[in-house]
Amino acid sequence: MGCGGVAPHKKGALTAGATIVFIDESGFSQRPSVRRTWAPRGETPVVDDHVNWDRLSAISAIAWHPGKPETRVFLSLWPHSIKQPEVLAFLQSLRRHIRGQVVVVWDRLPGHRGSLVREHIEANASWLKVEFLPPYAPELNPVEQVWANLRAQELANYTPDDLGELAAAIGRGKRRIRRRGHGLGFIKHTDLMSDDEFNLLGKAH
């Protein structure tokens, strides 16, 4: 898969009726995501900082079935680093929500390539396939837009008192993204396909 287009075999997977699931991981801390903001003239806005490095790890997915105008956005939080067991749990959870053929698209993070995850993928090869994004190309994954959107909205200049408050803010952002149907726009924002290809796949059944 390269910039500006989808490889022919991937287009085949899309138009064959598979659900495409983009997956990515990130992390959030109690330190604020500083953004430009309003303040009275002559007053510099002040953002509190707890100087706390406690973090939550997050794994999110955007699922799109070509031929449908909507997407589904999933997001799970963990109080520790995401490794193979967490990736496996997320894949298993996704299967409870998505039926039929699935093509997972993600990067080459060690947690995506380890033996535990690889064995799960091989054991479910009848419905599950995996495609890797090119190295050093995070802009090709639309889930990056989920992280950016959260940091620009619910988490902008926000300093939660604890991880519970942080998780609640992320949860509100997830529900907003779902409600407003941003997922398809996030996919279109990437360089995975041209506008013509995107429109064509969106009409496929």
Looking at residue 194, its pLDDT comes to 64
DSSP letter (8 states) at residue 2: B
CA distance 126 to 163: 39
End-to-end CA distance of the chain, in Å? Answer: 22
Closest CA to 183 of 62, 6, 34: 62
Q: What is the mean pLDDT of the chain?
A: 83
Q: DSSP string covering 9-58, please?
A: HHHHHHHTTPEEEEEEEEEEESS-B-------TT------------EEEE
* Residue 166 three-state SS: helix
User: Residue 196's pLDDT is what?
Assistant: 63
CA distance 188 to 5: 12
pLDDT, tens digit, for every residue of 7-38? Answer: 544 555 454 689 999 999 999 988 766 545 54
Secondary structure (3-state) at 161: coil
pTM (2 decimals)?
0.81
Which residue ranges form the domains of the chain, and what is each CATH number?
A: 15-26+51-203 (3.30.420.10)
